[in-house]
């Protein structure tokens, strides 16, 4: 059996603490879940005039049911280990006046004053009953009833007040029911609106679904069209296979020559073939024992507008003794098919310059080279496809840059085949011999530019057309930019401004670059004057001049190194 619990109570302005037994009620089918409470009736057994209760000065509410109504009979929650204050009934709820009259029977009459109608409205229904019960209790010590008729009259009045209060409560309950009904109707309306929104959303999803299906059908139709086009292309390819072999070779050569890459894609010449070292000692019985060397070709005739007008503008061998080949198997595996195309073109009558045709029995040397390539394909399985050109893929820049590692290079200046890199007006890169290089660019203007670079302690690589220079004053800069505008073989410029430059100096750089042949620029701005930098940053276009340099049509690559002060100022709000 569970040990009973008690709630402690103390009447206001009293030091006496009384205990009232705590009741429990099950909240579910299981007896494990129960709720403790203290009944008002049990409390009034100890405190007959108890009306309300407080804890730490705060009123304690009576417990309510799920509908918000007070549970009958009234009860309060159980507060373990806490002492609750008992608030007794107000004495003004019943005004009693005793008029004592002397008589031989020593009897006394009492006049009972009940609450008015206005006062009864402010009293709780249960409190009013309790007050009436207190009035009705006989107390010979202080109250004597004058006569039964007056008492019955007051009881009738009390009953009327109670009935009126009950009717008002019913009206309140009715109003609450109507309000609840209106709330339910509003909720139904909201549910209907939500349902309509969901239906609209479903319709929208269906529209999107239909659109996606239409898109899918369009994609399928496009795929069918692409397949049709692919079939047409395959038909054209089959037709192309009946073209003459010489036309195919010419297309392959043109595909090699018309590639237009950045300047750094061509660090070395791109046209090269192999020729026997000594044609007179060629052994046809042991072809692979013969020695060959790699020779570069001058590309001056490539991309020339009037190249067919003169044999001097045609492709020819560079004036060089050639290069010995290292790691020949890997070399021919990578570049063999490329050289086979060029050798076959030369063998089948590709127009050549006199300098190429003047080599003794060059035709025989080309034939020996082709036989050498065929013998390699037979001897080494890895090279069995170097003589087939149908599946040829053009060499990339990385392939060309890797050529030098296979060559035995003894040139001190590093100029492969004594060739110089140039570019045409159309932006194509060419490697030409020294004769064509000098005929293209005036030596006087070139020497003046070289002098300007040397005066500023810079470096000039005439083969690559690259200049690295550091300018220390505005006067030196003006001389250098004047020479730059006249020089035509400058493609890469690495320049540092090592003085307090201004916006005017940036304008001078822009003007020089606009008429020069520079297409790769690296500009280090050094440290400008602080006031000028702030003035630059205060304008609407902060880097107007730098942007105009970047947007030059001739520029392909631009790198600008900003000073730290300029970077910090650029972060400030304008």
In this predicted model, what pLDDT tens digit does every residue of 450-494 receive, in sequence order?
Answer: 888 998 999 998 888 899 999 988 898 999 999 898 887 789 999
Residue at a domain's end among 383, 405, 434:
434
Of 341, 387, 343, 338, nearest to 367 (Cα)? 343
Asked, for residue 273, whether it belongs to a domain, the answer is yes
Regarding whether 369 and 488 lie in a shared domain, the answer is no
Structure tokens, 205: 């999803």
Regarding whether 487 and 418 lie in a shared domain, the answer is no
At 471, is the secondary structure helix, strand, or coil?
strand
Asked, for residue 380, whether it belongs to a domain, the answer is yes
Instruction: Considering only residues 358 and 243, tell me which one the structure prediction assigns the higher pLDDT.
Output: 243
Asked, for residue 261, whether it belongs to a domain, the answer is yes
Regarding whether 251 and 352 lie in a shared domain, the answer is yes
Regarding whether 394 and 472 lie in a shared domain, the answer is no
Asked, for residue 172, whether it belongs to a domain, the answer is no
In this predicted model, what pLDDT tens digit does every residue of 431-444 receive, in sequence order?
Answer: 888 888 877 666 66
Asked, for residue 28, whether it belongs to a domain, the answer is yes
Regarding whether 526 and 506 lie in a shared domain, the answer is yes
Asked, for residue 134, whether it belongs to a domain, the answer is no
pLDDT attached to residue 128: 52
Task: Flag whether the pTM goes above 0.75.
Answer: no
Regarding whether 509 and 392 lie in a shared domain, the answer is no
Q: How far apart are CA 546 and CA 523, in angstroms?
A: 10
From the CA atom positions of the chain, what is the Rg in Å?
56
Asked, for residue 480, whether it belongs to a domain, the answer is yes
Regarding whether 509 and 564 lie in a shared domain, the answer is yes
* Count of domains forming the chain: 3
In this predicted model, what pLDDT tens digit does every residue of 83-107 receive, in sequence order?
Answer: 999 999 755 444 433 343 333 333 4
Q: How far apart are CA 462 and CA 544, in angstroms?
A: 32
Structure tokens, 132: 């009436």
pLDDT attached to residue 129: 52
Regarding whether 457 and 409 lie in a shared domain, the answer is no
Regarding whether 451 and 413 lie in a shared domain, the answer is no
Nearest-10 crossing angle of helices 362-379, 328-347: 140
Alpha helices in 265-404 (DSSP H): 328-347, 354-357, 362-379, 397-401
Residue at a domain's end among 28, 61, 88:
88
Band (pLDDT 50/70/90 cuts) for residue 122 is: very low
Asked, for residue 141, whether it belongs to a domain, the answer is no
Of 260-274, 325-339, 358-372, 406-420, which range is least confident? 260-274
Q: Which residue has the tokens 């049709």?
A: 228
Structure tokens, 239: 């037709």
User: C-alpha dihedral over 368, 373, 379, 384, to 10 degrees?
Assistant: -150
Regarding whether 483 and 414 lie in a shared domain, the answer is no
Of 126-140, 159-173, 452-466, 468-482, which range is least confident? 126-140
Which residues, listed in sequence order, are joined to residue 21 by a DSSP beta bridge?
6
Regarding whether 382 and 281 lie in a shared domain, the answer is yes
Q: How far apart are CA 386 and CA 13, in angstroms?
A: 117
pLDDT attached to residue 566: 60
Q: How far apart are CA 287 and CA 348, in angstroms?
A: 22
In this predicted model, what pLDDT tens digit does every residue of 290-349 receive, in sequence order?
Answer: 899 999 998 877 655 443 344 345 678 888 888 999 878 899 989 999 999 989 888 876
Element holding 262 (H helix, E strand): none
Of 250, 352, 264, nearest to 311 (Cα)? 352
Residue at a domain's end among 416, 434, 452:
434
32: containing domain: 6-88
Regarding whether 402 and 454 lie in a shared domain, the answer is no
**Is residue 29 pLDDT above 80, yes or no?**
no
Q: How far apart are CA 275 and CA 282, in angstroms?
A: 11
Of 530, 537, 529, 536, nearest to 572 (Cα)? 537
Span 114-127, mean pLDDT?
Answer: 48
In this predicted model, what pLDDT tens digit does every residue of 223-270 receive, in sequence order?
Answer: 999 999 999 988 887 777 767 667 766 765 665 555 445 455 667 888
């Amino acid at each position: 059996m569970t040990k009973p619990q008690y709630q402690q109570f103390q009447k206001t302005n009293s030091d006496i603490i009384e205990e009232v037994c705590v009741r429990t009620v099950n909240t579910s089918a299981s007896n494990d879940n129960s709720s403790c409470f203290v009944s008002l009736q049990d409390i009034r057994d100890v405190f007959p005039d108890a009306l309300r209760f407080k804890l730490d000065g705060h009123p304690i509410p009576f417990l309510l049911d799920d509908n918000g109504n007070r549970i009958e009979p009234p009860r309060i929650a159980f507060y373990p280990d806490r002492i609750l204050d008992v608030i007794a009934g107000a004495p003004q709820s019943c005004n009693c006046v005793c008029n004592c009259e002397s008589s031989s029977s020593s009897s006394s009459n009492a006049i009972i004053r009940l609450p008015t109608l206005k006062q009864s409205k402010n009293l709780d229904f249960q409190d009013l009953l309790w007050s009436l019960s207190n009035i009705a209790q006989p107390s010979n010590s202080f109250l004597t009833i004058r006569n039964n008729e007056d008492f019955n009259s007051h009881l009738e009045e009390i009953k009327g007040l109670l009935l009126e209060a009950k009717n008002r409560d019913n009206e309140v309950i009715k109003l609450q029911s109507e309000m609840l009904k209106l709330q339910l109707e509003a909720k139904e309306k909201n549910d209907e609106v939500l349902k309509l929104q969901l239906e609209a959303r479903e319709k929208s999803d269906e529209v999107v679904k239909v659109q996606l299906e239409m898109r899918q059908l369009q994609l399928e139709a496009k795929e069918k069209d692409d397949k049709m086009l692919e079939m047409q292309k395959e038909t054209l390819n089959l037709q192309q296979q009946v073209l003459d072999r010489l036309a195919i070779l010419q297309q392959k050569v043109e595909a090699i020559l018309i590639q237009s890459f950045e300047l750094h894609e061509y660090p070395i010449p791109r046209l090269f073939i192999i020729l026997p070292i000594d044609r007179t000692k060629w052994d046809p019985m042991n072809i692979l024992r013969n020695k060959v060397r790699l020779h570069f070709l001058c590309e001056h005739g490539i991309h020339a507008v009037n190249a067919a007008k003169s044999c001097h503008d045609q492709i020819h061998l560079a004036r060089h003794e050639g290069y010995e080949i290292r790691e020949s198997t890997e070399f021919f595996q990578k570049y063999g098919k490329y050289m086979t195309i060029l050798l076959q073109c030369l063998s089948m009558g590709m127009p050549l310059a006199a300098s190429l045709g003047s080599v003794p029995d060059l035709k025989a040397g080309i034939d020996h080279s082709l036989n050498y390539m065929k013998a390699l394909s037979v001897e080494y399985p890895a090279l069995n496809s170097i003589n087939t050109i149908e599946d040829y893929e053009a060499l990339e820049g990385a392939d060309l840059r890797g050529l030098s590692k296979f060559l035995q290079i003894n040139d001190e200046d590093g100029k492969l085949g004594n060739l110089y890199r140039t570019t045409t007006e159309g932006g194509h890169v060419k490697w030409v011999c020294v004769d064509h290089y000098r005929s293209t660019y005036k030596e006087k203007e070139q020497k003046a530019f070289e002098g300007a670079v040397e005066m500023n302690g810079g470096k000039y690589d005439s083969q690559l057309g690259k200049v690295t220079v550091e300018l220390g004053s505005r006067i030196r800069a003006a001389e250098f930019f004047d020479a730059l505008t006249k020089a035509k073989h400058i493609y890469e410029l690495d320049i540092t401004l090592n003085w307090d430059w201004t916006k005017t100096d940036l304008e001078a750089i822009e003007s020089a670059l606009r008429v020069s042949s520079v297409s790769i620029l690296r500009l280090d701005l050094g440290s400008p004057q602080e006031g000028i930098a702030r003035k630059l940053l205060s304008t609407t276009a902060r880097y107007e001049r730098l942007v105009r340099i970047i947007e030059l049509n001739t520029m392909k690559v631009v790198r600008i190194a900003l000073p730290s002060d300029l970077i910090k100022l650029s972060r400030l709000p304008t």
